Amino acid sequence: MDLFNNAINVNQNLLPYGGTVNYYGKLFSPKNADYYFNVLLNTIEWKSDEAFIMGKHIITKRKVAWYGNDAYSYTYSNTTKYALPWTDELLELKKIAEQKTGTTFNSCLLNLYHNGDEGMAYHSDDEKTLGKNSAIASMSFGAERRFLFKHKQTKETITTFLEHGSLLVMKDDTQTNWLHRLPPTKKVTKARINLTFRKMVV
Ligand SMILES: O=C(O)CCC(=O)C(=O)O
Ligand SMILES: [Fe+2]
């Protein structure tokens, strides 16, 4: 296990061109990763994601939450969200993400996928509220899931797996040139929590 993990080169770019994605592998022992999974499951204010798209009220099965340094507000699909104040554990995790990446973050979007039926469609995190080309640090706890990148022009696809207690960083022009997606899968019956630490322009 650890032998395999030690073989991970964090400087290796998973993308062949047009961006930089580094996979740091597992940052935590299984016990610590389980601890964070349980704390996050029980202390985060999970809510369904809501949107009004073409007059239709859409509610996701996947649950979301948003935390930040300030009560930032963010409007999309005719709903406005406000960032909640950090919990102690989120601050611990933010610090670890900052130490690993050498950047600072001021907000975190969390997603709870109850099982493999739930996923996230292709998108890029290129909102104007995010600093251009600023790094996004993605931490995962719980069920291991497949994660895909697709180039916007060439359509080239890159596959990776996000392990329990792992960190993946997307930076440089990744969001400009690549989409990413968490595909649904029948193989996964357990829950997964993902945290994306971000830097908003405020
Ligand atoms: O769950 C994941 O790994 C991806 C989440 C994501 O892409 C996002 O929150 O923007
Ligand atoms: Fe994303």
pLDDT, tens digit only, all 202 positions of the chain:
455 555 788 889 999 999 999 999 999 999 999 999 999 999 999 999 888 888 888 898 999 999 999 999 887 667 788 999 999 999 999 999 999 999 999 999 999 999 999 999 999 998 888 888 889 999 999 999 999 999 999 999 999 999 999 999 999 999 999 999 999 999 999 999 999 999 998 8
Residue 158: which residues within 8 A CB-CB, separation 6 or more?
A: 14, 15, 16, 21, 148, 149, 150
**Mutation choice for ligand 1 from 46, 67, 107, 120, CB with most ligand atoms inside 8 A:** 120
Give the single-character DSSP code of 202.
-
Q: What's this model's pTM, rounded to 2 decimal places?
A: 0.94
Ligand 1 neighbourhood includes 166 CB (under 6 angstroms): no
CA dist 53 → 17, 57, 78, 170, 172 (Å)? 34, 7, 8, 28, 31
Residue nearest atom 8 of ligand 1, based on CA coordinates:
196
| Number of domains observed in the structure of the chain | 1
For residue 16, the domain's CATH number is 2.60.120.590
ipTM: 0.99
Domain that holds residue 91: 2-198
